[in-house]
Amino acid sequence: MKSVSIGNSVTTIGNSAFYRCTGLSSVTITNSVTTIGSGAFYECRRLTSVTIGNSVTTIGNYAFQYCTGLTSVTIPNSVTTIGEFAFYDCDGLLRIEAYPDPQQVSMGTSVFYNVPKDKTVHVLPKYLSAYQTADQWKAFTNIAADLTEGGKKGDVNGDGEVGATDIACLVNVLAGLEDAAQYGGRADVTGDGGAVTAADIAAIVNILAGLEQ
């Protein structure tokens, strides 16, 4: 197993659901999911990419503990609880995008134990001071206020980067292989509020070419 997309009918990823799935490299958690159970991805050491849907409210205890291959994660603004040891010993985690107000998030103990504290945490400008003083978050020495409310334009899959994978996501949507709803508002790259079209793909191409921002 290399990658998995949690279906739109799933609301909860159960405890230890992917416990020690050592072959798992990427996972997309769609917007139907509200809870990631305890130890759901415990010791998935080859997991490098995880996209957490915008409806997730709870990241359970030990959810990503020992995911040493994980390099980036986006925590959507829907999250209100992050359990103890959730990212414990994720020593390859170099980029964290955190959208919630940290004062509204209940944090368990040692959430980021042994996560490099000199790497960048990206937050919304309005929450910068809150992250700089919040328990556990304040341990990070490089907190950048460079996120926007809607996320980075063109970052359809929510991995923090704009690239060919985002174009592939939209191609899959146009082909009927994926549901645009799993990407929330990120699939509407043009911002016209309509269905995904070739214009959204063209917008990403323009972003990559430096013609749009």
Q: What is the percentage of the chain residues whose pLDDT exceeds 70?
A: 92
Name the 3-class secondary structure at 104: helix
pLDDT, position 56: 93
How confident is the prediction for the chain on average, in pLDDT?
89
pLDDT 10s digits, 101-148 = 999 999 999 999 999 999 889 999 999 999 999 999 999 999 998 887
- How does pLDDT run across 9-46, given as a tens digit for each residue? 889 999 999 999 988 998 888 778 999 999 999 999 99
Sheet holding 142-144, edge to edge: 3-6, 26-29, 49-52, 72-75, 95-98, 120-123, 142-144
Q: Give the closest residue to 21 by CA, choosing from 48, 2, 6.
A: 2
- Class of CATH domain 3-144: alpha beta
> pTM of whole model > 0.75?
no
Domain boundaries, the chain: 3-144, 164-208
- Position 159 pLDDT exceeds 70: no
Task: Quote the pLDDT of residue 195.
Answer: 83
Cα–Cα separations (whole angstroms), residue 19 to 64, 67, 83, 168, 209: 10, 11, 16, 29, 41
Q: Which helix (H) or strand (E) is 36 found in, with range?
A: strand 35-36
Using pLDDT thresholds of 50, 70 and 90, give the confidence band for residue 213.
low
